[in-house]
Structure formats: structure tokens, C-alpha cells
Amino acid sequence: MLTDQQQRHASEILQKASTLGTPAAGVCIQVLGEESLDWEPEILSEAIVRATGKAAHPDVLQRIYAISSLLDNDMFFRLPEVFHSVCATLLDPDEHLVTMTKPPTPLEVMWSCTEAQLLLGDSFSVRRFTPNVRRYCGAILLFEDLRVAPQGLEFADFPESIFPDTDLMSDEVMASSFWKDQEDRLTELSKARTALIEGYADQMSELAKLGADAGKTEALHKKLLTL
């Protein structure tokens, strides 16, 4: 049974549009029990209102559903459409997931794989990604004109034909400018990922106020420092 203060704290976390998937799922576990992540969206949404007094932010609810999908099966690793759905939800929920008309951004894919790794622990392995998912990840990066995989997306499959033509690369100035642009963009993505990890750590630490194991929270902090 949560105290009134804990209920208010849980409500505040779930109402923030910036609350990430795993911390939000953690709140549900603390407030409603682990089985809540298996509930249908309508049931979970109503249960949150009854337990905390207020509705969760729609984006946060979508992130919780994506986390449930990661925990429920391995389709994230096997099917491009599920990979797309999770990556288009965990950071910046997309309103049109079914059509797959708008690919997730490289940062969204980076973060989704990072959060999946943190969530799944030892069961996360890039070897689990099927060739179709690897190719789809490569296509997402190519859509943004990235020819080198960012950190954590080294499994992306780039066809040889996508690399700059030999005429362009034979010009030293053009080649240098091209690769410098790629390096700069990868650096910016890495910085954004680091900022998200720091925010994730702060959000996870808030779960201790709801009764989560403080020792596990500290262990997570140490793990995050290695990413």
C-alpha cells in the first residue's frame, strides 16, 4: 500500500511527458504490480487513474506499451515492423506507427537499443538481430545520409553500393569534407545519447521513493557509467 505522498510522486512521474519507458514501467510495477505490464492498454490506463488519481501522459503510456513489448517476446530482434514500432515510440512517440511511413531518427534507434540493453540485461545481444532488422536499421541511417553506424548500432547492414563513389573520394578535399561531416554528426549523436543516459539514471533513482530496491538503483548507476 502506497502512502499519499508516494501516490502523488507516482502521479507526477507518469504525468511528465519526458518520463522514459523503463522508469514509467517501474512506476507501474511499484504501484500496480509486475502483472500490470501484461494488461491491455485501456485497463492499464484506467488502473493508473484509480491508483494515482490522475491519468498518465499519452506519450508515457505509449512508452510503457513499448517496454511491455520488449519484455513479452523477441520480435524486436526479429521483425522490422516491431523494431520500427519500438524505436518510433521509446523516445518520441509517433502517431502513425502502423503505416511505417516515417522512419525513426538515428537518435531514436540509438536510444531504443540502449534502453533495450539496460532493460533486458544479459539477454540483450546484437547477435539476436535478424538480417532483415539489420538491413532495416541500415536503411534508417541511410535515410539520414549516415554512412557510418553510430555507437550501439554497429549491427546495421549497409550495402556496399551506398558508399560515396570513387570519383568523389578521389578528390582529397571532397573526401575529407565528407568524412568530417560524418564524424561531426556521430559526435552529436553520442552527446545526445549520453544526455539521455544521465536523464534515465535520474529518473530511475526516483523509483526508490516508491519502495524500489535502492541497492539495485545504485548498481544501475554504476552500469550506466560504462555505457
Which string of b and e fits 125-136 if b means at least 16 CB within 10 Å? eeeebeeebbbb
Whether 44 shows a pLDDT value over 80: the answer reads yes
Candidates 33, 14, 219, 202; CA nearest to 121 is 219
Q: So what's the pLDDT on residue 173?
A: 79
| pLDDT confidence band for 67 (50 / 70 / 90) | very high
pLDDT in tens, 72-127: 999 999 999 999 999 999 999 987 656 677 899 999 999 999 999 999 999 999 99
| pLDDT confidence band for 10 (50 / 70 / 90) | very high
The owner of cell 506499451 is: 65
Backbone angles phi, psi at 169, to 5 degrees: -70, -15
In the numeric block, which cell numbers belong to residue 75? Answer: 520480435
In the numeric block, which cell numbers belong to residue 153? Answer: 548500432
**Rounded Cα gap, residues 177 and 183, in angstroms:** 10
The owner of cell 549523436 is: 189
Q: Point out the least confidently predicted range of 132-141, 178-187, 191-200, 213-222.
A: 213-222
Mean pLDDT (the chain, rounded): 89
Give me the mean pLDDT over the 141-165 stretch. Answer: 86
Residue % of the chain over a pLDDT of 70: 86
In the numeric block, which cell numbers belong to residue 74? Answer: 523477441
Higher pLDDT residue, 172 or 72?
Answer: 72
Answering whether pTM is above 0.75, one says: yes
Distances 46 to 33, 41, 55, 61, 200 between C-alpha atoms, Å: 15, 9, 8, 11, 26
Whether 128 shows a pLDDT value over 70: the answer reads yes
CB 151 within 8 A of CB 190: yes
**Rounded Cα gap, residues 182 and 176, in angstroms:** 10
Q: So what's the pLDDT on residue 215?
A: 66
| pLDDT confidence band for 178 (50 / 70 / 90) | confident
Whether 212 shows a pLDDT value over 90: the answer reads no
Whether 12 shows a pLDDT value over 90: the answer reads yes
Give me the mean pLDDT over the 58-62 stretch. Answer: 96
